[in-house]
Amino acid sequence: MMSLCRSGDVARLTATQPALAQTTMTTTLQPRPEDNNNDSGAGPFTFFPGKPRWTRPDRVLTYAVSPTATADHLPPSAVRAALRSAFARWADVIPMRFLEAERYDAADIKVGFYLYTDGRCDGCACIDSDDDDDDGDDCEGVLAHSSMPEKSGQIHLHAAHRWTVNLAADTAPLAVDLESVAAHEIGHVLGLDHSSSRSSMMYPFISCRERKVRLTTDDVHGIQELYGANPHFSFGAYFKQDILSRIQQMKKEKKKKARGSSFWQRGLALTCAVIVTMIPLPLSLNKLL
Ligand SMILES: [Zn+2]
Ligand SMILES: [Zn+2]
Ligand SMILES: [Zn+2]
């Protein structure tokens, strides 16, 4: 499940969320430290109780977008493209394949947009934790919910929200990026529960107009603990761009700092460094060298 939040509003939103009834659907509860039941203890990523995962020997799961439970303002082809891209992000890192089913009824994972009636999802009758936002007029509330493995896979997107597949073209201030939320819900369908790491795909909150489609090391470690690594995946290559941009950023900041200090300051620092190295080392240190 994923909720909207204004940044800095997470604690309040979480505190006011009543617990969901225990159903086959995932809950909105924030992961507590004792929920962190991953074997390696490596990350903030968590699994569902019993660590369920899909065990198909052919490692293929099919999905389909409902032909009837649609989003009014989005063409079905755009919705399908966003889903295809979201599934591909997970397929890049684990040895699973996700194929679009020809028949909706036959798909392992069924995706649709649903409204809530009297606080219950029209698609599965699960209870929305905050049914007061059904007009979608503020940047809060539950965006979607999904099932966990290996139940019949479902991703239900809350139809009241302003879903978009192109934030650049859709200037609505409350627009919610479909691919970002779909990628999060796919993580649940595959067996990941929420992560407490803010940058993680499995962090339970996202802001309006936020695009978050890249898996982090936390997500990758979590999902690979369930399914193993895609043979074509390497951490170095996958996160190369992240690492390069971080180095670029560090270089920029260093340059800025260097420009800020005067020639004399730099000269003095250099002199100090020379003086320090000129001091004879104590005997014990010399031995170590
Ligand atoms: Zn979630
Ligand atoms: Zn539902
Ligand atoms: Zn809502």
CATH code for position 208: 3.40.390.10
Predicted confidence (pLDDT) at residue 143 exceeds the cutoff of 90: yes
The count of C-alpha atoms lying within 13 angstroms of the C-alpha of 127, restricted to the half-sphere facing its C-beta, is 10
Number of domains in the chain: 2
Instruction: Give the end of a domain, one of 231, 249, 265.
Output: 231
Ligand 1 centroid – CA 28 distance (Å) = 7
Predicted confidence (pLDDT) at residue 178 exceeds the cutoff of 50: yes
117 and 204 in a common domain = yes
AA letter at 61: L
Model confidence pLDDT, tens digit, residues 7-64: 333 322 222 233 332 333 443 333 333 344 444 556 799 999 999 999 999 999 999 9
Q: How high is the pLDDT of residue 129? A: 58
Please state the ipTM of this predicted complex.
0.84
Ligand 1 centroid – CA 30 distance (Å) = 9
Ligand 2 centroid – CA 171 distance (Å) = 28
Ligand 2 centroid – CA 113 distance (Å) = 9
194 and 105 in a common domain = yes
Per-residue pLDDT, averaged over 128-152, amounts to 69
Ligand nearest to the CA of 141: 3
209 and 106 in a common domain = yes
Q: Which residues are annotated as a binding site?
A: 108, 130, 135-136, 145, 156, 184, 188, 194, 202
Give residue 274's domain range: 239-288
Per-residue pLDDT, averaged over 137-163, amounts to 86
Contact indicator for 123, 69 with CB cutoff of 8 Å: yes
Q: Which residues are annotated as a binding site for Zn(2+)?
A: 130, 145, 156, 184, 188, 194, 202
b/e code 120-144 from CB counts within 10 Å (16+ = b): ebebbebbbbbbebbebeebbbbbb
Ligand 3 centroid – CA 91 distance (Å) = 29
269 and 132 in a common domain = no
Neighbours of ion ligand 1 (CB under 5 A): 1-2, 204
Neighbours of ion ligand 3 (CB under 5 A): 133, 141, 158, 160
Q: Which residues are annotated as a binding site for Ca(2+)?
A: 108, 135-136
150 and 74 in a common domain = yes
Ligand nearest to the CA of 131: 3
Instruction: Give the end of a domain, one of 185, 204, 231.
Output: 231
177 and 87 in a common domain = yes
Where is 20: in which H helix or E strand? none
181 and 84 in a common domain = yes
The count of C-alpha atoms lying within 13 angstroms of the C-alpha of 89, restricted to the half-sphere facing its C-beta, is 25
Model confidence pLDDT, tens digit, residues 221-242: 999 999 999 999 999 888 887 7
212 and 133 in a common domain = yes
Catalytic site positions: 185
201 and 114 in a common domain = yes
AA letter at 230: N
Ligand nearest to the CA of 24: 2
243 and 157 in a common domain = no
Instruction: Give the end of a domain, one of 213, 231, 249.
Output: 231
Ligand 1 centroid – CA 72 distance (Å) = 24
**265 DSSP 8-state letter:** H
Peptide bond into 140 cis (omega under 30): no
Ligand 1 centroid – CA 202 distance (Å) = 6
Ligand nearest to the CA of 48: 1
281 and 185 in a common domain = no
172 and 268 in a common domain = no
Percent of the chain with pLDDT over 70: 72
**Which long-range CB contacts under 8 A does 199-203 form with residues at least 24 apart?**
200/44, 200/45, 202/45
